[in-house]
Amino acid sequence: MSSNLAHSAARGAFFTLGAQGAKIILQFLSVIVLARLLTPHDYGLIAIVLVVVGIGEIFRDFGLTSASIQAPTLSTGQRDNLFWINAGIGLLLTAVMYFLAVPIEAVTRQPEIVGMVHWLCLLFLLNGLATQHRANLARDLRFRAMAAIDVSAAAIALTAAVVAALLGAEYWALVIQQLTSGVVVVVGSVLAGRWLPRWYSRAHSVRALLGFGWNIVATNLLVYAGSQIDTVLVGLKFGTTPLGLYNRAYQLLMTPLTQVRSPMKNVALPVLSRVQQEPARFDNYVTAAQLMLGYGLGIPLVLVTGLSDPIVRIMLGPRWLEAAPILGLFAVAGLLSTIAFVGYWVYLSRGLGRQLFLYTIVTTLIKAACIVTGSFFGLIGVAIGFTVAPAISWPLSLFWLSRVTPMPTARLYAGAGRILALTASVGVVAWAVASTVSSWGSWPMLLVGLPAGLLTAVAFLILPVYRRDLQNLWTFVRLMLKRQPRTA
């Protein structure tokens, strides 16, 4: 059982990371192509609407995805009831957002917003129909199917958006991209799940699941509010064009990062939930997860920081050059938040919804204070505040978690220290080497800076502790690539 679970976790990570890698490539293609067909103003408009959509999505899910996956047992009747709850909330939010279009237009003073809201409100209904089908796939560890759905949705949506943009649809191309993705996800999830819900029945109580979900809703609202403070502040204080620059840097870095980290929860949550009563195994899984995320994502992130200038020039073009320092700062923030990300999995897997909510209040206030303070120093100041916040919150996260549940705190701090030492060196070397050939152009900077940074990471293998980390990661990779033997 132990080896089977480890193998399932590794294979789940393999399919999830593979899918997210494909989605990141598609995201980059979207940025490269659409940024040349659309304007910063177009992206500023979609950013405003998606802020509202994001708030509604928290209520639409109602924490029931995590509740369904985390539950030790889940009857068919409970699963049916959860489907109708999510679908009903999605339908209600569709209607609410439709009628909010005019008030939103009055606040933003952007008349294009009305039509965009009227169409994008359909995302609530689409996602509501898909929620429990996706949760059921995750609970059954069917990560290959989920990966296929996600990649297909991203590819088809990008194709639709590019065609629309080429036909002169302007910001409507971005609306079409969102809706196409939603339709493909719901259709794919229903077909893969091979499950049609029966009607709601009071005989199958979901009260406990709703209680857990409510704490997750409250937590996610705080997290989302904290994540949108910068977007709202930039839009109101500096206008749609600076918001478009800021949003493009965010989409170029933080969206792919989120596409990797967040779906990994679907792998980590069912696995950690199954071993939560085995302290030694639980600690080993958590520390291994931190190393995998820290090294696996940290090295690419700091390379983006060191090479942000040529990356922006190549991917977005010269008119987006002001986004380069913002991109570099986002990459540092992404590294710091990634190191602490396993703590979120621990809260969920052990059912610590209320404790997660209380902790999130503190970190949201920290983030708000940093971003508001930074806004007095312009657009770059906002990005600096965005980066300082996780630097303050990260050590607090482990301390807070260790107060409410057993944690391998010392091992996690030591692992994080090793990750930071290596990644900082990689980023500095990549920047320094690339700067020596800056007069040659963007591609030479990238082509010399990238290998210089990677060679720096390899050089750390001189130290035994880094060789042990590599050996542990390699063991996990072998599990990912190994097929589960069939049983009779």
Determine contact, residues 97/52, Cβ cutoff 8 Å: yes
Place of tokens 């990689």: 426
417 CB burial (10 A radius; 0-12, 13-18, 19+): exposed
User: What are the angstrom distances between the C-alpha of 275 and each of 1, 10, 350?
Assistant: 11, 15, 10
Q: What is the pLDDT of residue 19?
A: 65
Q: For residue range 117-165, what is the model confidence (pLDDT) as tens digits?
A: 999 999 989 988 888 888 788 777 777 788 888 888 989 998 998 899 8
Determine contact, residues 279/406, Cβ cutoff 8 Å: yes
DSSP 39: -
Low-confidence ranges of the chain (pLDDT < 50): 1-2, 484-488
Distance CA 375, CA 372 (A): 5
Place of tokens 């910063």: 40
Distance CA 428, CA 303 (A): 9
DSSP 463: S
Distance CA 274, CA 314 (A): 45
DSSP 239: -
Give the length of the chain: 488
Angle at 321 (CA atoms; ends 320, 326), nearest 5 degrees: 95
Q: Which tokens sit at 216?
A: 């997750």
Determine contact, residues 302/430, Cβ cutoff 8 Å: yes
Place of tokens 């304007």: 39
Q: What is the pLDDT of residue 322?
A: 84
Q: What is the pLDDT of residue 183?
A: 93
* Closest C-alpha among 280, 334, 276, 285 to residue 305: 334
For the chain, the farthest-separated pair of C-alpha atoms sits apart, in whole angstroms, at 72
Determine contact, residues 105/49, Cβ cutoff 8 Å: no
Q: What is the pLDDT of residue 20?
A: 64
Other residues' Cβ atoms within 10 Å of the Cβ of residue 99? 11
Q: At what angle do helices 40-61 and 240-274 cross, to 10 degrees?
A: 30
Determine contact, residues 56/98, Cβ cutoff 8 Å: no
Q: What is the pLDDT of residue 373?
A: 93
Q: What is the pLDDT of residue 7?
A: 52
Give Cα 248 distance to the centre of its chain: 16
- Provide the 3-class DSSP secondary structure of residue 54: helix
Determine contact, residues 327/311, Cβ cutoff 8 Å: yes
Q: What is the pLDDT of residue 453?
A: 95
Distance CA 254, CA 48 (A): 17
Distance CA 117, CA 105 (A): 9
456 CB burial (10 A radius; 0-12, 13-18, 19+): buried
Distance CA 480, CA 136 (A): 22
What is the H or E stretch that residue 176 is in?
helix 172-193
Distance CA 381, CA 84 (A): 45
